[in-house]
Structure 1
Amino acid sequence: MTTAIRSEFLKFFTTRLWWGMAIGIFVAGGLFAGFFGWALTSGAAQSSPGAPEGDATQVANTVYTSGMGVGYLLLLTIGVLMIGAEYRHKTITSTFLATPNRLTAMLAKVVALLGIGGLYGLISIVSSVGVGAVVLNLTGRDPFPSGEVFRTMALSLLVLGLWGLIGLGVGILIKNQVAALLVGIGVAWIVEPLAGVLLGFWDFGAEHIVKFLPTQATNAVVNSVTQGPSVARLEWWVAALVLAGYAAVLAGFGIWRTLHEDVS
């Protein structure tokens, strides 16, 4: 198992993809932290109609995790590529020959994705805290108003890893790498948020469906600010379980399918 995990890390970190995405997450974390730090604390933004609402802890959480919107899409992409590239370049056979136990090979990918998600989460946090704490200080806010802020930072590492597993499941279920990327990113970035907005106009949907969508669960885990007091939200630990459920179902079904299908 250890050898298989090491192999998955080598496959990823010996390409230029990893540092390109690392730069993207680092830059996005700093830029979004600076923007949201100013937007959420400036007097004009706070007094405008429909301005986001939240206490000091939620403001800090939002600033420090604002780059996750980019981060989870990149981890979704990495998850798809980790298996999609194997099918595209016909290396999946070599992988299973090197690790004859397919379950071990797939579990190694799961562990690697969780580790990669944690690494990118740390990169994002270093950037966002470095910029966000300065902005919050300059605007008269406490950069670390409670211990919950540190809990949120830790949970953001888990969230990115789970989005990587969601991408892994999508990449297995849709063998064409390009199609898997388009479907995965399209649903996460466009379809699901749009569905959340439309369902929000339906009382039952707003109360019982929207809060269980993946991006809404992600926001609940990190306890970011809301656009109004009436927005339904899960408790952070329930939201974490919901997001883990999406990852378990998609990655679990994908792994089960891989164990029982012919590979050429």
Structure 2
Amino acid sequence: MIAATRAEFRKFFSTRLWWGMALAMLIAGALFAVAFGFLLTQDQSALPPEQRTVGNAEQIVNSVYTAGLSVGYLLTLTIGIMQIGSEYRHKTITSTFLAVPKRARVMLAKVISLLAIGALYGLISLVGSVAAGAVVLNARGVDPFPSTDVLRVLALSLLVLGLWALIGLGVGILIPNQVAALLIAIGVAWIVEPLAGFGLSFWDWGAEHIVPYLPSSATQAMVGGVQSGGATSTQLEWWAGALVLAGYAVVLAGLGIWRTLRSDIS
């Protein structure tokens, strides 16, 4: 098991993809933290009610430090897809299963490595966001660490990226064509789901019973950020958001692993 997991890490870190993604995570975390830091600490009295944000100092800090997750989870989703999709695309999946005949062991190694890689990128993102965000918050007269709950949110953000990587793993298996899997997954996560959530928010039942259980809404619930003054949808507790997002990861990755264990590989 250790050898299989080490091999998965070697496959990822032996390419130039990892440091390119790391650099993107660091820069995105810092830039989004600065932008949100100025945006959420401005005087909102002149803004119309629907454009105002609702949240206390702790929620503002959480939003600033985790603002980069809007880009981060798309990147780890991509990593999850490519971790398995590249094997099918370049036909290395056959040699992988020949080297480790027990497919379940290979897939478990991929799950462990993706969770660790997601957490690593989460740390990189937090380095940029906390360093830049704390400077902006302090300059705007906001305590950068108003409570210990901020540390819990920072830890949960690592879990968020690991779970999105597992979602990518499942999508990459269920859609064997790597390019199609990337386009569909990113299109749904970045465009389709936000638009669907926005549309459903105008329907009372949908805003209360559907929108909170969408992956992006569950992600937002985990980090406990501020909400728009015009938001009508219900937000889950952080632990409920974690369970929902974990559910998506378990179902998609589980279906993908089940298919891998039963399908013929040529």
TM-score tier, shorter chain, comes to: over 0.9
Amino acid at match of 1:258: T
Q: How does 1:70-85 map to 2 (within 5 A)?
A: 70-85=71-86
State the Cα distance separating 1:42 from its structure 2 match. Answer: 1.5
SS at match of 2:62: helix
Task: Determine the structure 2 residue equivalent to 1:256.
Answer: 258
Counterpart CA distance in 2 for 1:47 and 1:205 is 31
SS at match of 1:224: coil
Task: Determine the structure 1 residue equivalent to 2:170.
Answer: 169
Counterpart CA distance in 1 for 2:171 and 2:265 is 17
Counterpart CA distance in 2 for 1:55 and 1:225 is 8
Amino acid at match of 2:8: E
Root-mean-square deviation (CA, aligned residues, Å) is: 0.8
Task: Determine the structure 2 residue equivalent to 1:33.
Answer: 33
Structure 2 unaligned runs (5+)?
none
Counterpart CA distance in 1 for 2:255 and 2:213 is 20
Counterpart CA distance in 2 for 1:115 and 1:243 is 17
8 Å contact kept, 1:155–1:221: yes
State the Cα distance separating 1:107 from its structure 2 match. Answer: 0.6
% of aligned pairs identical?
66
2:17 equivalent to 1:17: yes
Q: How does 1:154-233 map to 2 (within 5 A)?
A: 154-228=155-229, 230-233=232-235
Counterpart CA distance in 2 for 1:113 and 1:179 is 21
Counterpart CA distance in 2 for 1:207 and 1:70 is 26
Task: Determine the structure 1 residue equivalent to 2:101.
Answer: 100
8 Å contact kept, 1:33–1:64: yes
8 Å contact kept, 2:202–2:232: no
SS at match of 1:63: helix
Q: TM-score, normalised by structure 1?
A: 0.98
Counterpart CA distance in 1 for 2:76 and 2:109 is 16
Once the two structures are superposed, residues 23-58 of structure 1 have per-residue CA deviations (whole angstroms, 9 ceiling, x without a partner) of 000000000000000000022x46412211110010
8 Å contact kept, 1:40–1:46: no
The alignment covers a number of residue pairs equal to 263
Structure 1 unaligned runs (5+)?
none
Counterpart CA distance in 1 for 2:3 and 2:45 is 53
Once the two structures are superposed, residues 76-114 of structure 1 have per-residue CA deviations (whole angstroms, 9 ceiling, x without a partner) of 000000000000000000110111100000010000000
Once the two structures are superposed, residues 170-203 of structure 1 have per-residue CA deviations (whole angstroms, 9 ceiling, x without a partner) of 0000000000000000000000010001111111
Q: TM-score, normalised by structure 2?
A: 0.97
Identify if the C-alpha distance between structure 1 residues 159 and 213 changes in structure 2 by more than 3 Å, giving closer, same or farther.
same
SS at match of 1:140: coil
Identify if the C-alpha distance between structure 1 residues 90 and 226 changes in structure 2 by more than 3 Å, giving closer, same or farther.
same
8 Å contact kept, 1:57–1:146: yes
Counterpart CA distance in 1 for 2:45 and 2:28 is 24
Counterpart CA distance in 1 for 2:209 and 2:136 is 36
Amino acid at match of 1:80: I
State the Cα distance separating 1:231 from its structure 2 match. Answer: 3.3
Identify if the C-alpha distance between structure 1 residues 62 and 46 changes in structure 2 by more than 3 Å, giving closer, same or farther.
farther
State the Cα distance separating 1:230 from its structure 2 match. Answer: 3.9
Moved over 4 A (4+): none
